[in-house]
Structure 1
């Protein structure tokens, strides 16, 4: 999948979460984390989170 398709799927999933009553910030956070992991990798996501915590 290309990045545009991943972005569209993430946006639709975010709208679905908001429709289900999830707060907007939480829905955006979930979409951002999963989208970053799908585009890069789960290992990169975890390394980024850990390095941000250490600074």
Structure 2
């Protein structure tokens, strides 16, 4: 591992219930939902490549 550790994920349910819900998810539905939530146009400055400096 490189870099500092991330904070652990906090859940308001027991681990076994969270695992059971995770195992019931359909990967196709998750991908479909992710496509719907994606932004059509990213905010300015995030997707733009930096301009070369003029020396």
Q: TM-score, normalising length from structure 2?
A: 0.31
Q: TM-score, normalising length from structure 1?
A: 0.31
More contact order relative to length (CA 8 Å, sep ≥ 6): 1
| Higher Rg | 2
